[in-house]
Amino acid sequence: MGKVGLGLAMGWAAVTCAIAAVMVGRRVRRRQEWRRVMAVVEELEEACSTPVGRLRQVVDAMAVEMHAGLASEGGSKLKMLITFVDRLPNGSENDTYYALDLGGTYFRVLRVQLGGDRSGILRHDVERQPIPQHLMTSTSEEDLFDFIASSLQEFVQKEEGVSEASTVKKRELGFTFSFPVKQTSVSSGILIKWTKGFAIEGMVGRDVSECLQQAMSKKGLNMRVAALVNDTVGTMALGHYHDKDTVAAVIIGTGTNACYWERADAIIKCQGLLTTSGGMVINMEWGNFWSTHLPRTSYDIELDADSPNPNDQGFEKMIYQECIWVTL
């Protein structure tokens, strides 16, 4: 081979060894990093573990809170709110209806034409708009509701092809308002508190429907709030419209909540409550549910501490955290 060839061979060998050393070193580091990642995942998996026995404990704890909430106002972490909705759609509805959905960073306006005789939805039109951040934390509720009423007016005029909304018959509006509300009738209710990043001063304790009605009147919009419901109730109504066996609904999104059909005689805090159907939809407001059996992790604790409302809406925050992990 000669001295030159031997020198080149030794040089290439040295280079090869160096490259191999670098690659081995990187592989070792990657394996170490991977082991650390897997350790975190395994720790999280163990902390979030929900064997059947534990789930039954959570179910039992929620059942106790449900009974307490039905027995007295303020007697439970679950508000178990009366909705005054004692009848649900059954497919016989035949007309054109409007709806407004407010409950997150967006709101929707809808126009639905129902054919009756279980023919289903003949037509539906919907628009979705973001809510400007400054309106979510405004110092006046008028700013938010004026914005909503203007958007609703534009939608009505575009869909019906009229220049003046007041030239046609008074429309019926269903208002889905996804915040804790103490209902005073099927079409009115008092805001208990804001959630989901909303914090409008002076709104708590006000009648939500009245605020929207005043804003619509200022715009000359000939429309009446015929029903004020939580988004869970709206979801349940739609489910029952398509399937009469639907008895509950659950929302998992920016927040979480559930509602279900309850016997009137089981609602002890409203003894003597008369309904034509013998039952009523209960808005559970379960976002504030808490039990020591829930698998709370260090991540849940940090999220709660950094939130605008520490030690509140614990169940809701845990579900939100879980949604983040699933997304990742």
Summarised one tens digit per residue, pLDDT across range 62-79 is 999 999 999 998 889 999
Number of domains present in the structure of the chain: 1
Window from 90-104, 148-162, 214-228 with minimum mean pLDDT: 148-162
Judge whether 137 and 200 are in contact, CB under 8 Å.
yes
Task: Tell me the C-alpha distance between 252 and 263, whole Å.
Answer: 25
**Position 179 in a domain:** yes
**Position 181 in a domain:** yes
Tokens 């619509």 locate to 216
DSSP-assigned states of every residue in 59-119: HHHHHHHHHHHHHSTTSSSS--EE--------S--EEEEEEEEESSSEEEEEEEEEESTT-
The model's pLDDT over 109-131, given as tens digits with 9 standing for 90+, comes to 999 888 877 777 888 889 998 98
What are the angstrom distances between the C-alpha of 170 and each of 77, 112, 126, 234, 287? 40, 16, 20, 22, 36
**Position 4 in a domain:** no
Q: Which range of residues forms the domain containing residue 135?
A: 55-295
Element containing residue 182 per DSSP (H, E): strand 181-185
**Position 306 in a domain:** no
Q: Residue 187 — very low, low, confident or very high, per pLDDT cuts 50/70/90? A: very high
Percent of the chain whose pLDDT exceeds 70:
85
Backbone dihedral angles phi then psi of residue 157, each to the nearest 5 degrees:
-65, -40
**Position 312 in a domain:** no
Catalytic residue, chosen from 86, 101, 146, 231, is 231
Task: Tell me the C-alpha distance between 199 and 313, whole Å.
Answer: 15
The model's pLDDT over 15-39, given as tens digits with 9 standing for 90+, comes to 444 444 555 556 656 777 778 877 7
Residue 196 is a catalytic residue? yes
Q: Residue 321 — very low, low, confident or very high, per pLDDT cuts 50/70/90? A: low
Helix, strand, coil % over all residues of the chain, rounded to 5: 45, 20, 35
3-state secondary structure of 164: coil
Q: How many other C-beta atoms lie within 10 A of the C-beta of residue 68?
A: 17
Write the DSSP symbol of residue 48.
T
**Position 209 in a domain:** yes
Catalytic residue, chosen from 143, 182, 193, 196, is 196
Burial class (CB in 10 A: 0-12, 13-18, 19+), 16: exposed
Task: Tell me the C-alpha distance between 211 and 324, whole Å.
Answer: 35
Task: Tell me the C-alpha distance between 65 and 75, whole Å.
Answer: 8
Per-residue pLDDT, 322: 59
**Position 283 in a domain:** yes
Task: Tell me the C-alpha distance between 259 and 249, whole Å.
Answer: 6
Burial class (CB in 10 A: 0-12, 13-18, 19+), 223: buried
Element containing residue 30 per DSSP (H, E): helix 2-47
Kind of pairing, strands 121-130 and 188-191?
unpaired
**Position 48 in a domain:** no
pLDDT value at 10 more than 70: no
Which CATH number covers residue 100? Answer: 3.30.420.40
Residue 231 is a catalytic residue? yes
3-state secondary structure of 268: helix
